[in-house]
Amino acid sequence: MCRWPGPAYRPTSSPTLQLLPSDNLKVQHVDMRIPDNPLYPDTYRLRFIIEKDYPFAPPQVQFVRPHPIPIHPHIYSNGHICLNILYDGWSPAHSLQTVALSIQSMLAGNTDASRPEGDERYCATAPSNPLFSRFMFDDDSV
């Protein structure tokens, strides 16, 4: 049975988050559904890349294809997510499950079907690893 790796493992009670089986503990994928928001009718896939300093440093987290990338003011079209807990707000108390739940909650409460300002410019020059980006965390409205 595949479990949520990390220090705060608790079985999820949400059938809308599914950790996919993997033989590679460094790379994990989670399929996510947002049942209560008509903006997000699809299944979305998050990829977690876990480095050797996890849980003291955040994993790389982004939405990946072939699943669609959700449209949200804090999610770039390349799948990078502007969310404080993935960067400066990271704490070893977070787990892959709590990160997935935070992203799911961010999507569930959204009513603005738009990309972040400067999406095209960012995606054209962004590093492949979102941890090498520097985001400004100043918008709590979405």
Residue 132 neighbours by CB under 8 Å, 6+ apart = none
Q: Is 123 a catalytic residue?
A: no
Residue 52: half-sphere exposure toward Cβ, Cα within 13 Å: 0
Catalytic pick among 82, 96, 103, 106: 82
Maximum distance among all Cα pairs of the chain, rounded to whole angstroms: 42
Task: Give 11-16's long-range contacts (Cβ < 8 A, gap of 24+).
Answer: 12/97, 12/101, 14/101, 14/104, 16/104
Catalytic residues, which ones? 82
